[in-house]
Structure 1
Amino acid sequence: MRLPALVLLAASLAGPALAQTLRVGIASDPNVLDPAQSTAYVERVVFTALCDRLVDVGPDLNFRPELATAWEWSDEGRTLTLRLREDGRFHDGTVLDAAAVKVNLDRYRTARESRRRSELAPVTAVEAPDARTVVIRLSEPYAPLLSVLSDRSGMIMSPTALARLGERIRDEPVCSGPFRLVRRVAQDRIEMEKFPQHWNAANIHVQRLTLLPIPDSNVRLLNLRSGQLDLIERVTPSDVADARRDARLRVAEATSIAYQLFYIRVNGGALQDPRLREALELSLDRDIINQVALEGMFVANNQPEAPGTPYHFPDLAAPKRDLNRARALLREAGQPNAAFSLLVPNSPVESQVAQIIQSLAGEAGFQVKLETLEPSALVARSERGQDYDAAFGIWSGRPDPDGNIAPWVASDGFLNRMSYRNPAVDAAFLAGRRTTDPATRREAYHAAAQQWLADRPLLVLYHYRWFWGLRAGVTGFEPSADGLIRFAGLRLPG
């Protein structure tokens, strides 16, 4: 029923006006378009067009200037000074200056609705000594800060719009990115237009941008093949080879820092007994999941950092599948046929992964009920912290090891939907944040991993490779390890 509607939707956008319109198929519909309240990955995709950040991340995962053109640490790592560009403007005409940055950072670290408070907790003050200088004072050295400012906490919204709208800015976001919002129709489309006063407007080569949320990866690819879309994210591994053979298309790819997981409600859910969570992991085989559902193109893994990287720990590798031990643990827990529900987004790939988990776990005795939801509904339900046992999630990855796991398993992590609390894990994270020495940080995050991997509030399944599909003739696309689409330099054919 969904397929014809989507094809007709794309067709309705056809016509001469499309000469300067970039049409992008995204994997789901955003929940909120306020960086303070956002938690879903797809919202980061939208924000890349809408909201500039203080610091960007390049394809090599090194930090590069965006709203801040330079930065400097001082006071033994307790002060970060940012120098802002002089040509920043918000979509409503407000000048982007240090005072505006201060308003946003203070909101992120103190507002009731903000999900950014934990990642900015070490900030004690934000100062604006002049229009182009921002000084961030910290209670202690905080190594992840630049990484934090390269994501939602570094997205700067118009203080004029914030004063007018308050929390309702989630419905009318006013930022300083290369595109400004024109119209949003939930579950249908997000329409933007080029912001001519943007500091990098000369490198934005389309006049309009339309983002179409299409959860079904097959439908996204069909619309790309038919010419109704110019660019799609997340081409599935099973479609990559065929897409590469299609002369109408081009496939771009990048090694990813993103990973797939499912998280488990450890306080009150059906899997709150740690023996059940251990049995569940022992019933799984990540290599089977990768080979059967993902054509072997992803990287089976149980940790937030990919194998071969400095913060992946080979001595903490996933346990081998052991059905006998899994069944014994279920009997010890008094639940030889333990039942739980798993919330799954309405994506063909993740649905197949969930079915494989259901089958593998079933061989140990688990009765797994799969419940398929639209992604924003899944997030909203699990964020309530009740009425679910386990749920799928994706983390797009960060260039700092703290940002790759602490939001999920720290006691105050903004993604800790599992009600997981472990003081030893929190203490290890704190130690890792207080130093920039790689060896000391590695020791700290290893100590944290030892504990949370044993507690199993979540199970990492695999690391992604990102695959994007582009209509032939679309040029200037720069694949990035974080999976986001940077629009600067993109050109349509003709």
Structure 2
Amino acid sequence: MLPLLVAPALVLPAAPAVAQTTLRIGIGADPAVLDPAQSGSFVERVVFAAMCDKLIDVGPDLQFRPELATAWEWAPDGRALTLTLREGARFQDGAPIDAAAVKANLDRYRTARESRRRTELQQVSAVETPDARTVRLVLSEPFAPLLSVLSDRAGMMLSPAVLPMAERVGENPVCSGPFMLTRRIAQDRIEMQKFAGHWNAANIHADRLVFQPIPDNNVRLLNLRAGQLDLIERVAPVDLPSVKRDQRLRLVAGDSIAYQTLSINVGNGPLAQRPLGADPRVREAFERSIDRGIINQVALEGRFAANNQPEAPGTTYHFADLAPPPRDPARARALLREAGHERVAFTLKVPNQPVESQVAQIIQAMAAEGGFDISIETLESGAMVAATRRGDYEAAIAIWSGRPDPDGNISFWLASNGFLNWGKYANSRVDALFTQARQVTDTARRQALYREAATIWMADRPHLMLYHHRWFWAMRSGVEGFVPSPDGIIRFAGLRVGR
């Protein structure tokens, strides 16, 4: 047996330990799926912002800005968009983000069976790759919202190596963002590690990132105060004064393009045949039994904006003359009698979050005076999405985080092929108006088209928009570099964690 040789010890000065910084974020729900192709909830977009870069991003001013594409140019006839890709960008497995990889992702989004992005990209007839840094999207018709589409999940790039997993991509989403997924414990946490090879790694200042889903606003805030979290999203309006008084915390408020809506099942399976879904007079009676201003004052401390439209009041595509009818319980009861009902009962599905639950309770109380008996059912985010997609609902409250282009704030809910048209609303004239509005860029022309569409769907009432949000985040005083965005998504470049 050979003797074990031990080299003489070489004494060197100890290198200073470099502390690993961890950013811990409390989010309002547990994501259902970590695959941009299959995603359908707001909280998933929050997580994707850390994990998956997009071709184009949206700035705080709602203007498009470069991300994986550094430049873009429309063809003169509006039937093609050419993208120039960022040089040297790589996926988290080291593969280059080149034109072939972008084509593979876009082709999956627009054709794969599991993709919910197909309707968003239906105008894209081909994806061409003239060279490694150039991608050309050929369109069957002009499509004004395309940049907005590419600034969301349809523009998120995953490594081609994982795309063959199809429906199972979310189990191992190797992506292109500043953080790599390392572990997920359902309903508990999502852990990520900084991707050192990211093109913007120098501006990413946290080594680790942990998302913790905590549906209860009070529990999220308590965890922040206890030092278990560094930043939380969606602070409840009722908690704003106490956060402002706490010198250990900082409150950041921001304008929002997000809104809350109440979706009604008018055509998706047997539950659509019940009175609320089957008869527009019943839906009118329901709207006349509620008051959006009261909801805002009582549940939201008057901090949000009562609204019956997908665009915020005062913005380009909001139509002030299309105001909601005033609350009139007597008229509501008369409408029910005209429809053959003394009272109408239905179940309202609500996300398992305190604010939405309180909103539902206020609606329940107001509608009772108009002849409605509402049962409230609370569901986790994933269960809510699954139930509404299969038509297992009569009415459901949902949030939409908003998009820069008006098409992205309405057509996905109400177009016959909209990817979130849970209630299967179908109106050929509304479809035609949405199609025309996508093909023009002139603001006045688009306004006229969206206004005509609004007069139709507001009478049909497959959705009752309730209010526009205002975003509120709270963070420890040591967190620096946070910049609010109207879409409610956290951008991680420049964000620092101090102790």
Same fold (TM over 0.5): yes
Q: Show the counterpart of 1:199.
A: 199
1:373 is aligned to 2:374: no
Instruction: Describe the SS at the equivalent of 1:160.
Output: coil
- Offset at residue 448 of structure 1 (A): 1.0
The amino acid across from 2:36 in the alignment is P
Question: Greater CA radius of gyration, 1 or 2?
Answer: 2
How far apart in 2 are the matches of 1:298 and 1:51? Answer: 30
How far apart in 1 are the matches of 2:455 and 2:193? Answer: 48
How far apart in 2 are the matches of 1:419 and 1:70? Answer: 38
How far apart in 2 are the matches of 1:298 and 1:18? Answer: 41
How far apart in 1 are the matches of 2:449 and 2:120? Answer: 18
- Offset at residue 18 of structure 1 (A): 8.1
Q: Show the counterpart of 1:356.
A: 362
Show CA shifts across 1:420-472 (max 9, x none). Answer: 00001100101100010001111111111111111110110000000000101
Aligned residue among 403, 410, 416 for 2:408: 403
Q: Show the counterpart of 2:390.
A: 384
How far apart in 1 are the matches of 2:491 and 2:454? Answer: 32
How far apart in 2 are the matches of 1:240 and 1:292? Answer: 15
The amino acid across from 2:405 in the alignment is D
The amino acid across from 2:221 in the alignment is L
Give the structure with the larger helix fraction: 1
Q: Show the counterpart of 1:6.
A: none
- Offset at residue 166 of structure 1 (A): 2.4
The amino acid across from 1:465 in the alignment is R
Show CA shifts across 1:332-356 (max 9, x none). Answer: 1112210000001110100000000
The amino acid across from 1:54 in the alignment is L
- In structure 1, list runs of 5 or more residues that go unmatched: 1-15
Q: Show the counterpart of 2:53.
A: 52
Q: Show the counterpart of 1:282.
A: 288
Q: Show the counterpart of 2:73.
A: 72
Instruction: Describe the SS at the equivalent of 1:257.
Output: coil
- Offset at residue 473 of structure 1 (A): 1.5
Contact 2:104/2:160, CA 8 A, preserved across alignment: yes
Q: Show the counterpart of 2:232.
A: 232
> How do 1:160-309 and structure 2 match up within 5 A?
160-163=161-164, 165-267=165-267, 268-269=271-272, 270=274, 271-272=276-277, 273-309=279-315
> How do 1:323-342 and structure 2 match up within 5 A?
323-342=329-348
Runs of 4+ more than 2 Å apart:
16-19, 267-270
- Offset at residue 279 of structure 1 (A): 0.4
What RMSD over aligned residues (CA atoms) do the two structures have, in Å? 1.1
Q: Show the counterpart of 1:412.
A: 417
Instruction: Describe the SS at the equivalent of 1:253.
Output: strand
How far apart in 2 are the matches of 1:234 and 1:478? Answer: 15
How far apart in 1 are the matches of 2:159 and 2:321? Answer: 47
- Offset at residue 75 of structure 1 (A): 3.6
The amino acid across from 2:239 in the alignment is D
1:434 is aligned to 2:439: yes
Instruction: Describe the SS at the equivalent of 2:318.
Output: coil
- Offset at residue 145 of structure 1 (A): 0.2
Contact 2:114/2:166, CA 8 A, preserved across alignment: no
Q: Show the counterpart of 2:458.
A: 453
Instruction: Describe the SS at the equivalent of 1:218.
Output: helix
- In structure 2, list runs of 5 or more residues that go unmatched: 1-16
Q: Show the counterpart of 2:30.
A: 29
Contact 2:20/2:208, CA 8 A, preserved across alignment: no
The amino acid across from 1:232 in the alignment is I
How far apart in 1 are the matches of 2:225 and 2:19? Answer: 17
The amino acid across from 1:159 in the alignment is P
1:473 is aligned to 2:464: no
Contact 2:37/2:153, CA 8 A, preserved across alignment: yes
- Offset at residue 378 of structure 1 (A): 1.0
The amino acid across from 1:441 in the alignment is R
How far apart in 1 are the matches of 2:292 and 2:497? Answer: 40
Show CA shifts across 1:248-302 (max 9, x none). Answer: 1001111100000110001242312111110000000000000000000000000
Instruction: Describe the SS at the equivalent of 1:343.
Output: strand
How far apart in 2 are the matches of 1:184 and 1:177? Answer: 17
- Offset at residue 167 of structure 1 (A): 1.9
Aligned residue among 352, 355, 366 for 1:346: 352
Instruction: Describe the SS at the equivalent of 2:70.
Output: strand
How far apart in 1 are the matches of 2:160 and 2:335? Answer: 55
How far apart in 1 are the matches of 2:459 and 2:266? Answer: 13
Aligned residue among 471, 482, 490 for 2:495: 490
Show CA shifts across 1:338-396 (max 9, x none). Answer: 000000111010000000000000011100000111121111111111x3100111000
How far apart in 2 are the matches of 1:80 and 1:211? Answer: 36
Instruction: Describe the SS at the equivalent of 1:32.
Output: coil
- Offset at residue 161 of structure 1 (A): 1.5
The amino acid across from 1:472 in the alignment is S
Instruction: Describe the SS at the equivalent of 2:77.
Output: helix
- Offset at residue 176 of structure 1 (A): 0.4
Q: TM-score, normalised by structure 2?
A: 0.94
Give the stretch that moved more between structures: 166-175 or 433-442. Answer: 166-175
> How do 1:67-106 and structure 2 match up within 5 A?
67-106=68-107
- Offset at residue 323 of structure 1 (A): 1.1
How far apart in 1 are the matches of 2:20 and 2:356? Answer: 35
1:422 is aligned to 2:427: yes
How far apart in 2 are the matches of 1:31 and 1:177? Answer: 19
The amino acid across from 1:333 in the alignment is A
Q: TM-score, normalised by structure 1?
A: 0.95
Show CA shifts across 1:127-177 (max 9, x none). Answer: 0110000000001110000000000000011111113x2221111111100
How far apart in 2 are the matches of 1:249 and 1:277? Answer: 44
Instruction: Describe the SS at the equivalent of 2:452.
Output: helix
Q: Show the counterpart of 1:7.
A: none
The amino acid across from 1:373 in the alignment is L
- Offset at residue 17 of structure 1 (A): 10
How far apart in 2 are the matches of 1:170 and 1:275? Answer: 43
How far apart in 1 are the matches of 2:113 and 2:18? Answer: 43
Instruction: Describe the SS at the equivalent of 2:310.
Output: coil
How far apart in 1 are the matches of 2:311 and 2:88? Answer: 37
